[in-house]
Amino acid sequence: MLLKSTWEYKMTERNVTNVDAFDMDGNTFDSELYLQKILKDCTLKQVMDTEAVIVKDTQTLHSDMQTLVYENYNKFISATDTIRKMKTDFKKMETEMNLLVSKMTSITEFSGEITGTLQGTRQHLCKLAEKHSLLQKLQFLSSLPTTLKSLTDEGNYKKAVNDYIQAQKVLDQYRSHPSFQGIQKDCLNIMDEVKEKLKTDFQMTGLTAKSLAETGDLLLLLDEKPSDLAKILLQSASRRLHEQIVMLQDQTERDMIEFVDMSIAGFLNDLTLVINSYSGMFFGKYAIENEIYQFEDAVREDLNEFVTKNVDKYLALVHDRIDIDTGRGDSSMLLKALDKLNMRLVAMKCTYCEVDMAKIGMDIIINSAKQLCNYHLKSLREYLADSISTVRLSLTTGKNDNILTSGMNLNEVIMNFYVSLVEKVKGVLQDLTIFLQPDLSFNLKSTTKGSACIEGVREHLLVGFLKHTALMMTSFIDASQTCPPNLHLVLSKTCLEFDKNGVHVLLSLVDELYGIDSATLTHETFICTEMRESAQILLDSYVRLQGLHISQMLRKSVETRDWLNCLEPRTVRAVMKRVVEELSSIEQVLGDLYEVGTKTSASSDSSRKTHLSNLTTSKQQFRSNWSNYTPSQLESSFVSNIHRLFSERIEIFSSVEFSKVSIVTGIIKISLKTLLECVRLRTFSKFGLQQVQVDAHYLQMNLWRFVSDENLIYFLLDEILSSAVHRCLEPNLMEPNAVEIICERVNRSESVQNDFLQIITFFVEFFLKFSLYIQQSLLDQQHLKNIMSHEDYSKLYPKKSYHLFDFGLLNPYDDKVINLSVGAPGPDLLEKCCEMFTEATKHRMKLELESNSLLFQYGPAIGRWDIRDTFAHYLSSEYKGKVHGESIVITTGATQGLHLILSTLIDFSGVIFVDEVTYMIALSAMSQFTSMKVVPVPLTKDGVDIKVLRKLTTEYKFQSKTKMFWGMYYTIPTYHNPTGILFTEELCQQLVELSRENDFLIACDDVYNVLSYDSNTPPKRLFAYDNRKDADYKGHVISNGSFSKTLSPGARIAWMECPPRVVKVFDESGIMRSGGATNNYTSGVMASLIELGLAKKHLDFSREKYKERMEVACKVLRENLPASCEFLEPKGGYFIFIRFPEGFQSTDFNNYCYENFGVVAMPGESFSVDGSSKNCMRVTIGFHSKENIAIGLKKLCEAYSAYVGSAAQK
């Protein structure tokens, strides 16, 4: 085998060699062998083909080699040149290197010579340097006391201590030397002085923690006892931190974020620095009598006590501040502050681990969350109480109207009440989710307390509120509270809605929002059970109240009638009709709220009609044979009645089901039971018995349709008639046919009356809807512009109107709707006018008798001079500035004054500039001058945009050829209508200058100037800035005033304060002269009011009233209006202008307020030339009392929340 393997290996090696010899590309190629193999193995053709291939490959290879040579030739040439140049450079470099070597050798030789020469000198210099250093040290030591003294005087204690420590070792080393003893003694004295001063500074209050640490380090360097120094350090730091706490307590006006920033920059930073300084100074560095651990434990314990005490004070302050800020503003701001505080406390944990600062921060946040939950729970309870009060008020005020008698309207009240509660709770739950935001530095769910706090939102807040809701609603069944029965029905239905949907929706929402596992928490079935029980209690109370109401009517009808002297019955008593009507009304209300319910199979009409007829016949026979009964028969009858009493017992006050039939049945049971008990206590004559018979039959014919079981009616009426028979002196019943005829006649008569009432109701509803249509049209801008015509007034106002605001349902004198759009004094102010005008009239008549009764003659065109002087004197007193009598023109009102200005002074092709929102009646008056152009100008918070007005007046200016002015700017510069803006002094001056520059008139509507509430001095009127003493004065401003807002709008007395040239135009005006003074008589009476002091007294009284109303209005809006809505708080005047978010439609909202909340105001587009400002609304404080204003504005705010909520749902 070995021989065979060896032979095979050699053969394989030979074959490999032969193969390599035939490879033309290999190194072992043998051309002879290759040719032999080709000639031996191939044919001639194959040999020639092989030859051709080899020739071709050879030619290709030759061509490639030539190409390679040509391509690299230039590179070869360049490389050759480079190498040749390198050789030349290396030769030159070699020469230079040789030269360098020779020079270095020379340098080395010279260096050796110099070293040898200076060897002795170097040793001498070293000795001198050593001596110099020693002398410097000696000089330092000798001058050390002086230096230390100088540094001490300068207060540079740090440098002094460092210098002393630097020299202390030397002084200690040579202290036995007499020369150094004096120096050391002086230094010690100085250092003792420094030490005392440092101790004094160390104990000073007001020293920062950094300074305290530096002072402590210096004292330790001076060998101060560490234990004493540690106590002093903590005492001084405590005083400093206490000052920080006191300073933080005074920051009540800052918001929570600023408070936290101040506490971090002050208290917490100082505390951290004290901890770091204390730890660095005393931990692990000093041994007191080799008791290192005992000392360190003591100082560590002192530090723990110090930190705990001061942190507790700080936490108490933070908790107090959280209590103050909770619920006051945006909760997110509070949370941002707490998040920042938590991050700082977590960072302090790295500095000091003995007290768990992170846990403290988390406890603060958890406590804040709990406080916010408590606040929201309180607010929800208050909202619930207010909502119930609102519902109760609406039910009370609407109980005699048709507003809440139908079930549909009552159902709307229920749904509004229910939806508002649910949405309020949802909003609260959403607000509290800010504690779970992912970008916060903490995670409430990471701790046990935090998880419990989150569960507390569900259990304490939501479940607690739902339980409180159920409990509070049932509290209204208390007999001491006089609630309308419908309130119990509303509350019962609301509880039922919570049972069906509300509880599940809210609990599911809180579980979803907060990720709560509610398996171990209160299950919704428990809350639903409580809600359903409350609903049942309230419904039973409703049944009881309604039953007692009807029972009261029945009881009075029985007790007040003389049954022994009755006439023969010819009809059913009115009370029975009233009972049927009341039950019908109740059934109608319940029909839209509850399902009908189940009834037993009804008997036929014939059996229903004959039931009582048969009953009365049997009773008559029973009563007529009563005297023939034997004692045994009486006894058996008595036993039979006793058996019947218990076998056919009816539970009168049993709980009812949530169905219409069951509820009405419960009311009927109580009513008939009352009637039965009253009948048992009366004695009847024959006709009295027959009247009871007729009444019972009438009830049987009408009550069967209300109840679930007709037999119940039959049984109770049977008992009533039986009792009447037993209590009758002459028990003879009426013939059944006669009873039937009487009751049928009554029913037919009622049917005719019902048909007539339906017709009347149709017309009433028609006119009601038509009236609502008219009122809605009043709120439309285009209609508002057109109602000034006589034709529109004749359509709008009834012929027997007594005042301008007799709007029907929007009449402000009617309590059904609170109309906050009326800009006039209210009845409480006007009621004083009768007495005042009577006294003033007597005074004036007495004067006129002495002066030929000239007051009754045509007066001068602009008013009598003496009356104008009286007005001017009065206005000077109120304006606190001079008013000239010759400037006064008496008018009948500010609107007439505006009309006179437009018709007399302004070119008929002129331009009227007005504020972008202005008095809507003024816009209507201007619209009558169709040839004039009305141009709006933007307003700012300070008044009109003077830049825009300047540009517009320059653009529109022209030369008037017919009138005094080409244009006019109309405005209300003082307590602007409707915005309440007060023009600034700078703006007023600029307006006067602009009017002089472009020669246009400024017409100021100044009816609110004296109604200033925050100062004894009213604002300077714009007219006064047009000073007569100016060199360029011509008179470009008119002040248009009136007594309508301050005294009586019905008196129709006003004035214009005009420049002399304007007074002359008015005095010569044909319109003014044609009839003389426009109100000569009343102006005389008004002058007497002024002269007697009555006008001043009434103005002061009115101003105080208006001030109270304005403050109440602003307070209500601040507390109830959402932050997305804005309003300016005026300092005077009548109006508050509310600006809702952009896109809001105030006209639609106003209609919604009227239809659903009984309150209206004036939409903003009414005050705009082009119908803009649709998101604004004006409210007025002039007419209503402050109580009604508060109620109206609260309703307006509630309406806004409901309106926005309903819009969001849609």
Render pLDDT for 494-551 as a digit per residue (tens, 0 to 9): 898 888 888 888 888 888 877 777 777 888 888 898 899 888 888 888 888 888 888 8
Burial class (CB in 10 A: 0-12, 13-18, 19+), 609: middle
566 — pLDDT class (breaks 50, 70, 90): confident
Q: Are residues 308 and 377 in the same domain?
A: no
Q: What is the mean pLDDT of residues 422-427?
A: 86
Give the contacts of 1198 (CB within 8 A, at least 6 positions apart): 390, 420, 1120, 1157
CA-based nearest residue to 470, from 532, 383, 420, 521: 532
Q: Are residues 390 and 485 in the same domain?
A: yes
Burial class (CB in 10 A: 0-12, 13-18, 19+), 794: exposed
In a domain, 147, yes or no: no
- Range with the lowest mean pLDDT among 98-102, 270-274, 496-500, 1096-1100? 270-274
Q: What is the mean pLDDT of residues 85-93?
A: 82
User: How many whole angstroms separate alpha carbon 982 and alpha carbon 1186?
Assistant: 23
- Number of Cβ atoms within 10 Å of the Cβ of 1095: 23
Q: What is the mean pLDDT of residues 930-936?
A: 91
Per-residue pLDDT tens for 182-210?
Answer: 666 667 677 777 776 776 666 665 555 56
1031 — pLDDT class (breaks 50, 70, 90): confident
Q: Are residues 237 and 374 in the same domain?
A: no
Is residue 605 predicted with pLDDT exceeding 60?
no
Is residue 408 predicted with pLDDT exceeding 80?
no
The token pair that represents 308 in the structure block? 């705990």
Report the pLDDT value the prediction gives residue 112, as an integer from 0 to 100.
78
The token pair that represents 767 in the structure block? 């006119």
Report the pLDDT value the prediction gives residue 132, as an integer from 0 to 100.
63
User: How many whole angstroms separate alpha carbon 703 and alpha carbon 718?
Assistant: 14
Percent of the chain with pLDDT strictly greater than 70: 75
Type of residue found at 923: L
In a domain, 277, yes or no: yes
Report the pLDDT value the prediction gives residue 69, as an integer from 0 to 100.
76
Could you report how far apart the first and last alpha carbons of the chain are, in Å? 103
Q: Are residues 745 and 607 in the same domain?
A: yes
302 — pLDDT class (breaks 50, 70, 90): confident
In a domain, 453, yes or no: yes
381 — pLDDT class (breaks 50, 70, 90): confident
Between residues 707 and 98, the one the model is more confident about: 98
Please provide the size of the chain in residues: 1210
Per-residue pLDDT tens for 1138-1149?
Answer: 999 888 889 989
3 state SS of 918: coil
Type of residue found at 582: E
Q: What is the CATH number of the domain that holds 1183?
A: 3.90.1150.10
Of 4-13, 77-86, 480-489, 701-710, which one has max mean pLDDT?
77-86
Of 244-248, 626-630, 634-638, 978-982, which one has max mean pLDDT?
978-982
CA-based nearest residue to 167, from 186, 195, 150: 186
Burial class (CB in 10 A: 0-12, 13-18, 19+), 717: buried
Q: What is the mean pLDDT of residues 70-87?
A: 79
750 — pLDDT class (breaks 50, 70, 90): low
User: How many whole angstroms separate alpha carbon 1120 and alpha carbon 1136?
Assistant: 15
Q: Are residues 517 and 577 in the same domain?
A: no
Q: What is the mean pLDDT of residues 736-745?
A: 82
Q: What is the mean pLDDT of residues 462-472?
A: 87
Residue 1126 backbone phi and psi in degrees, to 5: -125, 150
Residue 479 backbone phi and psi in degrees, to 5: -65, -25
CA-based nearest residue to 1052, from 1043, 1062, 1065: 1043
Q: What share of the chain is helix, strand, coil (3-state, %, to 5)?
A: 70, 5, 25
Q: What is the mean pLDDT of residues 998-1003?
A: 95
User: How many whole angstroms separate alpha carbon 876 and alpha carbon 871?
Assistant: 9
638 — pLDDT class (breaks 50, 70, 90): very low
In a domain, 1, yes or no: no
In this structure, the dihedral spanned by the alpha carbons of residues 958, 959, 962 and 968, taken in order and rounded to 10 degrees, is 50
Report the pLDDT value the prediction gives residue 889, as an integer from 0 to 100.
94
In a domain, 1152, yes or no: yes
- Range with the lowest mean pLDDT among 411-415, 582-586, 1012-1016? 1012-1016
- Contact between 906 and 928 under an 8 Å Cβ cutoff? The reply is no
- Classify 1076 in phi/psi space as left (phi over 0), alpha (psi -120 to 50) or beta: left
- Classify 824 in phi/psi space as left (phi over 0), alpha (psi -120 to 50) or beta: beta
Q: Are residues 956 and 1071 in the same domain?
A: yes
User: How many whole angstroms separate alpha carbon 418 and alpha carbon 107?
Assistant: 110
Report the pLDDT value the prediction gives residue 887, as an integer from 0 to 100.
94
- Contact between 1090 and 1096 under an 8 Å Cβ cutoff? The reply is yes
Residue 1175 backbone phi and psi in degrees, to 5: -95, 15
User: How many whole angstroms separate alpha carbon 1110 and alpha carbon 1014?
Assistant: 11
- Contact between 357 and 346 under an 8 Å Cβ cutoff? The reply is yes
Between residues 647 and 951, the one the model is more confident about: 951
CA-based nearest residue to 1040, from 964, 971, 1089, 963: 971
Bridge-based pairing state of the strands 965-971 and 943-944? unpaired
User: How many whole angstroms separate alpha carbon 482 and alpha carbon 470?
Assistant: 19
Q: What is the mean pLDDT of residues 1201-1208?
A: 77
Q: Are residues 463 and 576 in the same domain?
A: no
Place of tokens 């008798």: 849
CB-side neighbour CA atoms (13 Å) of 676: 17
- Number of Cβ atoms within 10 Å of the Cβ of 1093: 9
Bridge-based pairing state of the strands 1037-1042 and 1135-1139? unpaired
Report the pLDDT value the prediction gives residue 965, as an integer from 0 to 100.
94
pTM passes above 0.85: no
In a domain, 495, yes or no: yes
- Number of Cβ atoms within 10 Å of the Cβ of 915: 27
Report the pLDDT value the prediction gives residue 886, as an integer from 0 to 100.
92
CA-based nearest residue to 793, from 781, 807, 814: 807
Q: Are residues 436 and 472 in the same domain?
A: yes
Type of residue found at 1194: K
Burial class (CB in 10 A: 0-12, 13-18, 19+), 410: buried
Per-residue pLDDT tens for 1042-1086?
Answer: 999 988 998 889 999 999 999 999 988 877 777 677 788 899 999
966 — pLDDT class (breaks 50, 70, 90): very high
Report the pLDDT value the prediction gives residue 637, as an integer from 0 to 100.
44
CA-based nearest residue to 338, from 354, 360, 356: 360
171 — pLDDT class (breaks 50, 70, 90): low
Between residues 350 and 1087, the one the model is more confident about: 1087
Report the pLDDT value the prediction gives residue 1194, as an integer from 0 to 100.
93
Q: Are residues 340 and 417 in the same domain?
A: no
CA-based nearest residue to 154, from 143, 164, 142, 146: 146
Range of the domain at 901: 886-1077
Q: What is the CATH number of the domain that holds 909?
A: 3.40.640.10
Give the contacts of 323 (CB within 8 A, at least 6 positions apart): 371
Q: Are residues 330 and 380 in the same domain?
A: no
287 — pLDDT class (breaks 50, 70, 90): very low
Is residue 341 predicted with pLDDT exceeding 50?
yes
CB-side neighbour CA atoms (13 Å) of 44: 0
Q: Are residues 584 and 710 in the same domain?
A: yes
Q: What is the mean pLDDT of residues 207-230?
A: 66
401 — pLDDT class (breaks 50, 70, 90): very low
- Range with the lowest mean pLDDT among 37-46, 923-932, 967-976, 1069-1078? 1069-1078
Q: What is the mean pLDDT of residues 412-433?
A: 84
Report the pLDDT value the prediction gives residue 856, as an integer from 0 to 100.
84
Report the pLDDT value the prediction gives residue 1207, as an integer from 0 to 100.
62
Before 978, cis peptide (omega within 30)? yes
Q: What is the mean pLDDT of residues 969-993?
A: 94
User: How many whole angstroms separate alpha carbon 958 and alpha carbon 954?
Assistant: 9
Per-residue pLDDT tens for 122-136?
Answer: 666 777 776 666 566
Domain count, the chain: 5
Residue 1054 backbone phi and psi in degrees, to 5: -150, -175
Type of residue found at 40: K
The token pair that represents 168 in the structure block? 């202390």
CB-side neighbour CA atoms (13 Å) of 835: 6
Place of tokens 């309903």: 1206
Report the pLDDT value the prediction gives residue 971, as an integer from 0 to 100.
96
Between residues 6 and 656, the one the model is more confident about: 656
Report the pLDDT value the prediction gives residue 649, as an integer from 0 to 100.
56
User: How many whole angstroms separate alpha carbon 494 and alpha carbon 173?
Assistant: 97
Per-residue pLDDT tens for 847-874?
Answer: 888 777 788 888 888 899 889 999 999 9
Burial class (CB in 10 A: 0-12, 13-18, 19+), 98: exposed
In a domain, 869, yes or no: no
Q: Are residues 446 and 587 in the same domain?
A: no
Q: Which residue, of 355, 385, 418, is where some domain finishes?
A: 355
Q: Which residue, of 541, 560, 592, is where some domain finishes?
A: 541
Q: What is the mean pLDDT of residues 98-107?
A: 87
User: How many whole angstroms separate alpha carbon 741 and alpha carbon 759?
Assistant: 27
The token pair that represents 1021 in the structure block? 């009127």
Q: Angle at the Cα of 159 (from 158 to 162), degrees rounded to 5?
A: 85
Is residue 953 predicted with pLDDT exceeding 60?
yes
- Range with the lowest mean pLDDT among 673-682, 735-744, 797-806, 1109-1118? 797-806
In a domain, 379, yes or no: yes
Q: Which residue, of 744, 759, 774, is where some domain finishes?
A: 759
- Number of Cβ atoms within 10 Å of the Cβ of 436: 16
User: How many whole angstroms separate alpha carbon 220 and alpha carbon 229?
Assistant: 8
Average pLDDT along the chain: 78
Q: What is the mean pLDDT of residues 725-747?
A: 83
The token pair that represents 144 in the structure block? 């050390």
